[in-house]
Structure 1
Amino acid sequence: MYFAALLARTEDGWEASDTDLDDVETLSDLTELAREASADDEETVLVFIEQEDSWFALVRLDGEDDPRIYVSDAAAAARSSYGEILLTDELLGRDPGSDDDLDDFTDLDGTEDGEPAAAAGPDEDGDDDAETSEEAVPPGPIGDLHILADLGMSQKELLSLAEDALAEIADALGASEVLETVR
């Protein structure tokens, strides 16, 4: 189960809105959606995305700057269509258009067109597909570890988050009440 919300910082404090990511296919789409939530082009907007008990992500937009991204567990996010949006070549340290394709990781049940999943193991070259996956998308946190530093949450605090991470982040930002209204 996924949860997604937008938090926009205004002169009066944080404003939250839940968001539907069904029509979001790229990071550009997500960025556009977040900017539309802002009444002022200079406001900070945070996008919270969470897959229950698996991973969470933050996307931060400050005015017209490029989005800043933090993903708590890249390998877990790579198995999600929403995670695929966030795990850009740049974030993963790959050359754009490289042979590593996240589409290989997004078929959660391992089937195609209802066919049973093949047993995991070495491919024709004798290589284990799991090793290739681990090389392409590292386990653990990835992205901007200082994404919330100026808003009251240090890198150490961000890395220590586990269950209910978004609530703890909202609490540190002074936005827990507005986040709860959209949960």
Structure 2
Amino acid sequence: MYFAALLARTEDGWEASDTELDDVETLNDLADLAREAAVDDDTVVAFIEQEDAWFGVVRVDGEDDPRVFLSNAAAAARSSYGAMLTDELLGREEDDAADDLDSLDLDGTEDGEPESDNDAEDDDDPLEAVIGTDGPPHGPLGDAGLLADLGIGEKELLALDADALSTIADALGCTEVLEAVR
């Protein structure tokens, strides 16, 4: 089960809104949603949490590119919203791997000729070149410094685990506002 909220900074503090992610398919969609919640193009922080498996923070400042942090990329990659953010951080586009696989000759031959044993040792596996040997890291991914100017430094963010969003809200001074939408 997901929890998602937007916190928009205002002159008087923070305003929170529970947000539905049903129409969010890309990081740009999430950034647009955050910008709609912004007051005078000020900072908006989007929180996404999937139970105790992972949490993500997306910061949007006006028209700047969104900044993203995931607590555990491998866990996040196994869920739809987490996979969207993980793919963005890793520079993957949704259908890149499928398109690249379609363009490869994966039968071990080039122009119909079998590879010699020496050639096979020198060349990388074409499938490995597309999808890599490793998935997303089992740990944090992204910009751990995205909240430093708001009271949560990189070391503090990296050390968070269970109930991380409450800890972040405490540091931002908006615990009551966040709990109101939880």
Q: TM-score, normalised by structure 2?
A: 0.77
Question: How big is the shift at 1:134?
Answer: 6.7
Aligned residue in 2 for 1:165: 164
Greater Rg by CA: 2
Query: Aligned-pair RMSD on alpha carbons?
Result: 2.2
Quick one: which amino acid aligns to residue 39 of structure 1? V
Structure 1 pair 38–133 and aligned structure 2 pair: CA distance change class (3 A): same
Aligned 1:1-183 pairs, distance under 5 A:
1-41=1-41, 43-89=42-88, 91-92=89-90, 98-99=96-97, 135-183=134-182
Q: 1 or 2, which has the higher helix percentage?
A: 2
User: Per-residue displacement from partner, 1:76-129 (whole Å, max 9, x unpaired)?
Assistant: 00000011221234x11558964289xxxxxxxxxxxxxxxxxxxxxxxxxxxx
Distance 1:95 1:54, change over 3 A: closer
Deviation (angstroms), 1:23: 1.1
Q: Is the 8 A contact 1:75 1:134 kept in 2?
A: no
C-alpha contact (below 8 Å) 2:56/2:71 kept by paired residues: yes
Q: Percent identity?
A: 67
Gap runs ≥5 in structure 2: 100-130
Question: Which secondary structure state, in structure 1, belongs to the residue aligned with residue 97 of structure 2?
Answer: coil
1:54 and 1:96, CA in 2 relative to 1: closer, same or farther beyond 3 A?
closer
Distance, in Å, in 1 between the alignment partners of 2:98 and 2:176 is: 41
Q: Matched residues in 1 for 2:57 and 2:138: separation?
A: 17
Say if 1:133 and 1:55 are closer, same or farther in 2 by CA, change over 3 A: farther
Structure 1 residue ranges, 4+ long, deviating more than 4 angstroms after superposition: 93-98
Question: Whole-Å Cα distance in 1 between the matches of residues 79 and 26 of structure 2?
Answer: 13
Contact 2:4 2:18 in 1 (8 A): yes
- 1:136 aligned counterpart, secondary structure: coil
Return the alpha-carbon distance in structure 2 between the equivalents of residues 68 and 84 of structure 1: 16
Show the counterpart of 1:105: none
In structure 1, stretches of 5+ residues that fail to align are 102-131
Using the alignment, how far apart are the partners of 2:11 and 2:168 within structure 1?
Answer: 20
How many correspondences in the alignment? Answer: 152
